[in-house]
Structure 1
Amino acid sequence: MQQARRILIVDDDPDITKLLEVYLLDEGYDVEVAFTEQEMWACLSGKNFDLILLDILLPDGDGFDITRRLREVSDTAIILISRKNTDIDQIVGLELGADDYVPKPLEPRALLARIKSVLRRYKKVTVEVPHEPTETDTSTLKIDGWQLDTTTYRLTHHNGTQHVLSANEANLLAHLVRNEGRVLTRNDLMVAISGREWEYMDRSIDIMIVKLRRNIETDPGNPCLIQTVRGAGYIFKASQKDNNSVLGAVTDD
C-alpha cells in the first residue's frame, strides 16, 4: 500500500488550518500544521513532506522570503496561499520557486485539485530532508564564460563575478542552454520549470528572461545569447568563441 502523501499547512489562522486539516485528512493525506515560520522549520527539521501550503503573511515571517530560503535547501512542492490576489504577487511567488499560488478565500475542492496537480509533477513519494547546499555539488553548465551550478543555482563568471539565481531562474536558464538553437515557446519554458501550462497575460517567463539577460549578456538591451523570436518565444544561441563548450554539462563524481 502506498504511503499517504504528507502535507504541511503553514498559516496562523486557526479557522483555515482546521478546515484544511480536516478536509485533507478525509482525502487520505497525512497532515501537520504550523502556525508560525519557527514552527514550520521545526517540523521540516524532523520529517519529510511532499508539499507545503504556505501563507504569505505569518506573524514572524514573510512567505516570499520563506519560499526563497526553502528553495535554497529543498525541492519540496510549495503552494502559496494569500489574501493578496494581484498579478505581481503571483509572479513574484512563482519566480521565487513556488509551484502554485492560490488566493483566499480558499475553496477546499478547488485547492485539492491544485494540490493533486502539483503533486503529480513530483515523482518521488517523499522528498529529502532540507539540507544546506555544499561546495561539493558540482553539476554545472558552461555558458559563454559563465558556469551555472544547477544544484546551488550559483552563476559564476571566470573573472570571479557571481550571482545566486532563484530556482526557477536557474532551471529556465539550464533549459534554454540544453536546447541551444531551438525556439522555445513560453509554454515550453513554463512547463519545463514548473510543470504547469503557461497562461495568457502571465509575464513571469518574460520577467525572468530580463533578469537572466542582466546577468549574462554583455549588452542586455541588445542580447546575443538569449534572443527573442517575435511571435514565437525565445532561443539560446551560444557565442562563436564558446560554441564548443556551452552545451557541455560537467558532472564531477
Structure 2
Amino acid sequence: MGVQQVLIVDDDRDIVNLIGEYLSLEGYAVLTALSGQEALELLNTRAVDLVVLDLMMPRMDGFEVCRRIRESKDIPILLLSAKSTDMDKVVGLRTGADDYIVKPFSLIELAARVEAQLRRYSYMTDRHTQQQAETIHYHGLRIEEAARNVFLYDRKIKLTRTEYDILLLLVKNAGRVFSLEEIFERVWGERSLEGSASTVMVHIARLREKIEEDSRNPKVILNVWGVGYKVEKDNKHRI
C-alpha cells in the first residue's frame, strides 16, 4: 500500500496548517482546502483516502460538503466541530460521516481516529476483494457481499460503508445480540469510548430508515432492551 492521502478542510488556515503538519509527521500525504467548494474540486481530481472536515464554514458548511461527497464517494469522513451537542453529532453522522470529534481536541487523538478509520476502510476493502461471492437474503433484503450491494425487494438501497458494515455484522450473526459497545468495536475497529454508543445508535437509526418498511416498527434490526440489537435467526439464507 502506498502513502495514504488525507484531505483537511477548514476555513481556518492556522488549524489546517497545524493538522497538516502533524499528520505529515505521522506519515500521511496531506491535501488542504479552505472552503467546501475547494474541497469538492480537489476530490474530483485527486485520489483521497480520508477527509477531515470542519462543520462551521461560510457559504458551504461541512454538512453540505459531507452530503455531496457521499453522492459519489465512500471514503471515510471525520467531522470536526466546536459544537458539542448531541443534535449536532446526530445531524453530522446522518449526513454520512463516519466519526465526529469536538474542538478543542488533541492532535494525538485526531491522528488515532484517522488511523482507525483508514485501517477499517483498508481492511474491509481487502476482505471483500478477496472473498468468494455470496448473496444473503433476509426479510426482503438481498445483500451481495462481493459488490457490497444491498437491495430491498429488488430496489437498490444506497448505504454508507458504516451502515453496510453494521447490517452485515448483524445479519451474518443472526440470532446473536450485540451491545452498542460490541458493534462499535467490531465495525469501527477500535475500543469503545465515551460517545461511541450514541454514534452507533445514530447509524442504526439511519440504517433503519433505509431498509425497514416502517422504521418506527422495525422488523429487521430489533432492539433487545437493556442489551443491544439483533436480527432474528429464522428467515436468513445464502445462495
Q: Same fold (TM over 0.5)?
A: yes
Q: How does 1:11-160 map to 2 (within 5 A)?
A: 11-123=10-122, 141-148=136-143, 155-157=151-153
Counterpart for residue 177 of structure 1: 171
User: Which residue among 224, 228, 231 is the counterpart of 1:229?
Assistant: 224
Conserved 8 A contact 1:9-1:32: yes
**For structure 1, which segment, 21-30 or 199-208, has the greater mean C-alpha deviation from structure 2 after superposition?**
199-208
Structure 1 gap segments, 5+ residues each: 128-137
Unaligned 5+ runs, structure 2 = 127-132
Give the superposition deviation at 1:33.
0.9
Instruction: Deviation per CA, 1:125-148: give whole Å up to 9, x if none.
Output: x99xxxxxxxxxx98643322335
Instruction: Give 1:27 deviation, angstroms.
Output: 3.6
Query: Which has the higher Rg, Structure 1 or Structure 2?
Result: 1
Answer yes or no: is the 8 Å Cα contact 1:96–1:167 preserved in 2. Answer: no
Q: CA RMSD in A?
A: 3.4
Amino acid of the residue matched to residue 171 of structure 1? D
C-alpha distance 218-33 of structure 1, shift in aligned 2 (>3 A): closer
Q: TM-score, normalised by structure 1?
A: 0.72
- Checking the alignment, whether the CA contact within 8 Å between 2:184 and 2:192 is kept in structure 1 is yes
Q: Deviations over 1:218-249 (max 9, x none)?
A: 6655544333223322221156xxx2xx332x
In structure 2, the CA distance between the partners of 1:247 and 1:191, relative to structure 1 (3 Å rule), is farther
1:80-126 CA distance string (max 9 Å, x none): 111112223223333444332122234333322332333333437x9
Question: What letter matches 1:205 in structure 2?
Answer: V
- Tell me the number of residue pairs that the alignment of Structure 1 and Structure 2 aligns: 230
In the superposition, the TM-score normalised over structure 2's length comes to 0.76
Indicate the SS of the match to 1:228: strand
| Partners of 1:106 and 1:3 in 2: CA distance | 28
Question: Contact between 2:141 and 2:150, CA under 8 Å: does it hold in 1?
Answer: no
103 and 213 in structure 1: CA distance in 2 versus 1, 3 angstrom threshold: closer
Q: Is the 8 A contact 1:144 1:238 kept in 2?
A: no
Answer yes or no: is the 8 Å Cα contact 2:74–2:160 preserved in 1: no
* Structure 2 Cα separation of the partners of residues 44 and 214 of structure 1: 28
Pick which of 227-236 and 79-88 moved more: 227-236
Identical residues among aligned pairs (%): 36
| Structure with greater helix share of residues | 2
Question: Cα distance, 1:189 vs. partner?
Answer: 1.9
Give 3-state SS (helix, strand or coil) of 2:27's partner: coil
